[in-house]
């Protein structure tokens, strides 16, 4: 069958146009897919970045150097372990404080203990029967899992002929909140004999600021004592240095900061 040349040319042109349009449409679809993929990847990246930032903030909110390892009493240089007969050793008092050892420190009756609970203890008084009286060992800021040496505070010395038994805990107070340096408000650091604190917030702090710290010997808290340094307010951006008698850079640990909000 004969076809006119113009008709043939017209059909050819139409096919070419349809082909170009089809390719353009396909390219547009592919372009949309690529754009959609890029947007999805961007959203995923942003989400991951946000999560990463959140993790960083969460870690720095409570930079408290908690001691949790179980230290062998024989590795504590300043504690001289004794082995009195018929005494209670290895018992856990009040379901949280384990009596690991009895001994001497600086020629004073002392005990080596560990907080076996998951609670940070703000204060407690440990006592043990000695003859007709009771030896007293105050405890302050003993964090969960940490060990400490406690020295007797009411005059008792170690007696090898004495039996130490009937341990008791009284006046126990737990921290209501996790210990914190308040890192969104303060920068805190220390050197031998001094602690410095800076107000990094956007508001003045008018009240008294309390900085609590403890000393550490051979991986355990040194005695039941928690020391405190104070600052009478800080303007925003202001930094102050406090002279302290007991703070040493290599052996002291800042435990928490408190102030009136």
How many residues does the structure list for the chain?
Answer: 261
Q: CA dist 260 to 119, 198, 200, 204, 257, Å?
A: 24, 16, 16, 12, 11
Residue 255: alpha-carbon gap to chain centroid? 9
Per the model's pLDDT, the better-predicted residue between 46 and 84 turns out to be: 84
CA distance 23 to 222: 79
Residue 116: alpha-carbon gap to chain centroid? 17
DSSP code of residue 124: E
Per the model's pLDDT, the better-predicted residue between 193 and 222 turns out to be: 193
Residue 190 has pLDDT above 60, yes or no: yes
Q: What is the mean pLDDT of the chain?
A: 81
Q: Which H helix or E strand runs over 169?
A: strand 165-174
Query: Are 114 and 89 spatial neighbours (Cβ–Cβ below 8 Å)?
Result: no
- When mean pLDDT is compared across 68-72, 116-120, 136-140, 229-233, the lowest value belongs to 68-72
Residue 259: alpha-carbon gap to chain centroid? 19
For residue 18, the cross-strand partners are none
**204-215: average pLDDT:** 96
Q: In which band, very low, low, confident or very high, does the pLDDT at 78 lie, cut at 50, 70 and 90?
A: confident
């Amino acid at each position: 069958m004969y076809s006119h040349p113009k008709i043939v040319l017209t059909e050819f042109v139409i096919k070419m146009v349809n082909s170009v349009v089809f390719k353009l449409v396909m390219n547009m679809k592919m372009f949309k897919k690529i754009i959609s993929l890029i947007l999805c990847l961007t959203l995923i990246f942003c989400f991951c970045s946000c999560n990463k930032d959140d993790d960083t903030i969460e870690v720095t909110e409570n930079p408290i150097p908690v001691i949790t390892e179980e230290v062998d009493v024989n590795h504590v240089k300043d504690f001289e372990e004794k082995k009195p007969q018929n005494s209670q050793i290895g018992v856990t008092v009040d379901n949280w404080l384990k009596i690991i050892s009895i001994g001497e420190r600086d020629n004073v009756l002392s005990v080596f203990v560990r907080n076996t609970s998951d609670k940070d203890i703000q204060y407690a008084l440990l006592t043990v029967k000695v003859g007709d009286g009771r030896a007293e060992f105050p405890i302050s800021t003993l964090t969960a899992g940490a060990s400490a040496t406690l020295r007797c505070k009411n005059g008792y010395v170690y007696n090898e002929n004495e039996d130490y038994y009937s341990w008791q805990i009284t006046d126990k107070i737990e921290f209501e909140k996790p210990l914190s340096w308040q890192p969104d408000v303060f920068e805190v650091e220390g050197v031998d004999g001094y602690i410095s604190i800076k107000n990094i917030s956007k508001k003045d702090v008018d009240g008294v600021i309390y900085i609590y710290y403890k000393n550490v010997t051979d991986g355990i808290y040194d005695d039941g004592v928690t020391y405190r340094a104070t600052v009478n307010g800080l303007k925003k951006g202001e930094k102050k240095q406090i002279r302290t008698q007991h703070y040493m850079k290599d052996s002291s640990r800042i435990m928490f900061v408190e102030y009136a909000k």
